[in-house]
C-alpha cells in the first residue's frame, strides 16, 4: 500500500467500471459515457462512505495529459475538462 493511501488519500485511475470506485478498493475506471451515467450515484456513494475532511482525487487517464481533479469538482464539472 502506498504512503498516500495509508494517509487517507484515495487515488483511482480511470479504467472499465465506475461503480468499483470505492475508497477501500481502488479500481481502474474508464472515461466514457458510462462515467457520466453513473456520476450522480457515485457522488451519493462517496458522500456517504468517505471520511470527512479527506482529500479525494481521481486521476483521469486515456487523455493526452493525465488530469487530476478533486471528486467534488469532478461531480460538478461532469468530466468537462
| Residue pLDDT, tens place only, 6-32 | 333 333 433 333 334 434 444 444 444
Structural domain count of the chain: 1
Tell me what pLDDT residue 49 has. Answer: 54
14 or 57: which leads in pLDDT: 57
**Whether pLDDT at 42 is above 50:** yes
CA distance 60 to 21: 13
Q: In what order do the strands lie in the sheet with 10-13?
A: 10-13, 56-60, 67-70
Domain holding 36, by residue range, is: 3-77
- Residue 33 — pLDDT band, cuts 50, 70, 90? very low
CA distance 73 to 7: 21
Q: Which residues pair with residue 69 across a beta bridge?
A: 58
% pLDDT > 90, the chain: 0
Best CA proximity match to 75, nearest among 48, 39, 21: 39
- Helix, strand and coil in the chain, % to nearest 5: 35, 20, 45
Amino acid at each position: 500500500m502506498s504512503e498516500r493511501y495509508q494517509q487517507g488519500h484515495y487515488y483511482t485511475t480511470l479504467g472499465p467500471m465506475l461503480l468499483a470506485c470505492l475508497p477501500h478498493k481502488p479500481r481502474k475506471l474508464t472515461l466514457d459515457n458510462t462515467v457520466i451515467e453513473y456520476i450522480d450515484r457515485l457522488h451519493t456513494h462517496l458522500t456517504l462512505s468517505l471520511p470527512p475532511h479527506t482529500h479525494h482525487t481521481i486521476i483521469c487517464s486515456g487523455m493526452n495529459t493525465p488530469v487530476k481533479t478533486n471528486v467534488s469538482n469532478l461531480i460538478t464539472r461532469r468530466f468537462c475538462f
